[in-house]
Amino acid sequence: MVRCIHSPFTDIYFHLAAEEYLLKQGADDVFMLWQDTPSVVMGKHQRVQSEVDREWAELQQIHIARRFSGGGTVYHDLGNVNLTFIETVSRLPDFKTYLHRVLEFFVSIGLTAEGDERLGIYLHGLKISGSAQCVYKNRVLYHCTLLYDTDMTILNKVLNPEGKIEEKESVPVYAVPSVRSAVTNISNYLPMETIEDFKKTVFQYFSKGQSAVAFNEWELGVIDKLRKEKYIRDEWIFSR
């Protein structure tokens, strides 16, 4: 039985903490659908200066966050839908399995999407989804974005820092750069559907008709503690 969560929250730091809690302290297989207010989310091994127009983001009150999985930097807003899959496994899976699950969802709604070697998803050559993975003991996490009706003007501005990083560093810096891709919104291909319609369709497909299970009060407390002690702290976001 998979625990299906349709999160009512819209805080990126809460959701990153929730994912880590569900992966490391939970025992259930999980599917979670979630959204955030405007946020830039970097991979664990990325460098803020190389990925984010930080000054502009802060001026626009766009949150800057770092997740505990790898991969590239993505932009979230309430036009973007995020999916998280967490499972207990006997051996390390081929993460393309999760990619194919999402591709099959698009087939079910009449869209032909394609994946690439980085597990991104494209419609007509334009990217609509990026993903990242994480392994903890015998637990695996795969999460991805689905750009449904995201503000592309803001996405392109905030993910393109102006100026170049100084070539000479007193200490070597090891960081994973994002691979830039031209993007589009899924709503361009589903003009009659609102994002609420789309979320309902996504949740019903991946939950296989199961009811959503909310976080209980104890879990909310644990997640909030992790949020405050790790994910909102400058040491985690900016100093890695």
- Please report the domains of the chain, with CATH numbers, ordered by start residue: 1-158+176-236 (3.30.930.10)
Percentage of residues of the chain with pLDDT beyond 90 = 83
From the list 103, 96, 111, the residue with the least C-alpha distance to 186 is 111
pLDDT at 190 > cutoff 90: yes
pLDDT at residue 111, rounded to an integer:
97
From the list 50, 72, 1, 5, the residue with the least C-alpha distance to 212 is 5
Name the residue with tokens 């996405």.
155
If pLDDT is split at 50, 70 and 90, which confidence band does 176 have?
A: low
Q: How many CB atoms lie within 10 A of CB 60?
A: 12
Which CA distances in Å does 229 have to 14, 136, 224, 226, 234?
A: 11, 20, 9, 5, 10
For the ranges 16-20, 39-43, 130-134, 167-171, the lowest mean pLDDT is seen at: 167-171
Q: How many CB atoms lie within 10 A of CB 27?
A: 9
pLDDT at 164 > cutoff 60: no
Q: How far apart are the C-alpha atoms of 34 and 21, rounded to whole Å?
A: 15
pLDDT at residue 177, rounded to an integer:
62
Q: How far apart are the C-alpha atoms of 65 and 58, rounded to whole Å?
A: 12
Q: How far apart are the C-alpha atoms of 223 and 34, rounded to whole Å?
A: 15
* pLDDT tens-digit map of 86-145: 999 998 888 999 999 999 999 999 999 999 988 899 999 999 999 999 999 999 999 999
pLDDT, mean of residues 39-48 = 94
pLDDT at residue 161, rounded to an integer:
80
pLDDT at 174 > cutoff 90: no
pLDDT at residue 179, rounded to an integer:
60
